[in-house]
């Protein structure tokens, strides 16, 4: 199976004057097409830094990151932005929906940057909303939707460009228990349909929904194992 993500010897050092802090201290990861992987760790473990590198929001100080066959490690900001728009769908703890726009318009936004016509944008946005169970909510604004429904709109927006990778950063952090089950069920469905998902979380029960769990602590991967959600025959 082909790799979507390959990190080799990734280090990230932040400098402030004469002070240095090494947030990542040598990360090696391979994630294949169609995997559902959770990255779990406490605050200060390096998981946010790792998420930023996986999402092409930052680049390693040392090492390389290959995303869907393209080495991103030495790209400039414009090139990284193009990869983010083309290859990665983001779902964040904060929904980041524009309150004055309908669900349909919010989902259309990435397609505007991609240069699609208005008719094509509307068609693809409506299809994405239908996939997440919101075909009847196209004209509703965020304030007219529940928290779980707003996160479904955010997932639809992440999927509308048909990205190689869905990167979910604490996607249930602002949700009640019912909405959390709803959104995690949606991620399960997307994985079952063949999506590659990387889920960043600090919650063990959320991480258990993935087929594989990576534990990060003090800038290092300390555990890489299959979870109970992994298909039969998976290895640790």
Q: What is the residue extent of each domain of the chain?
A: 34-59+76-226
Mean pLDDT value of segment 177-192: 90
| 120-133: pLDDT as tens digits | 999 999 999 999 99
pLDDT at 222: 96
Check: CB of residue 98 under 8 Å from CB of residue 110. no
What's the mean per-residue pLDDT of the chain? 90
| 24-68: pLDDT as tens digits | 999 999 999 999 999 999 888 999 999 999 999 999 999 999 999
Mean pLDDT value of segment 172-193: 89
> Of 33-37, 70-74, 232-236, which has the strongest mean pLDDT?
33-37
Mean pLDDT value of segment 96-105: 95
User: Does 34-59+76-226 carry CATH code 3.90.1720.10?
Assistant: no
Whether the per-residue pLDDT at 232 is higher than 70: the answer is no
Whether the per-residue pLDDT at 153 is higher than 90: the answer is yes
Predicted confidence band of residue 234 (pLDDT cuts 50, 70, 90): very low
pLDDT at 228: 67
């Amino acid at each position: 199976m082909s790799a979507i993500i390959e990190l080799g010897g990734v280090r990230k050092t932040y400098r402030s004057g004469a002070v240095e802090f090494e947030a990542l201290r040598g990360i090696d990861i391979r994630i294949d097409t169609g995997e559902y992987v959770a990255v779990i760790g406490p605050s200060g473990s390096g998981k946010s830094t790792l998420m930023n590198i996986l999402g092409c929001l930052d680049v390693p100080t040392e090492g390389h990151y290959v995303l869907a066959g393209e080495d991103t490690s030495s790209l400039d900001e414009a090139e990284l932005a193009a990869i983010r728009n083309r290859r990665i769908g983001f779902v964040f703890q904060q929904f980041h929906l524009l309150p004055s726009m309908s669900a349909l318009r919010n989902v259309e936004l990435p397609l505007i940057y991609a240069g699609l016509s208005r008719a094509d944008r509307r068609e693809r946005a409506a299809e994405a909303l239908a996939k997440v169970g919101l075909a009847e909510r196209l004209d509703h604004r965020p304030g007219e939707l529940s928290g779980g429904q707003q996160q479904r709109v955010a997932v639809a927006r992440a999927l509308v460009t048909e990205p190689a990778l869905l990167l979910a950063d604490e996607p249930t952090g602002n949700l009640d228990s019912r909405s959390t089950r709803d959104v995690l069920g949606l991620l399960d469905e997307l994985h079952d349909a063949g999506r590659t998902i990387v889920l960043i979380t600090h919650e063990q029960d959320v991480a258990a929904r993935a087929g594989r769990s990576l534990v990060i602590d003090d800038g290092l991967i300390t555990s890489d194992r299959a979870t109970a959600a992994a298909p039969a025959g998976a290895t640790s």
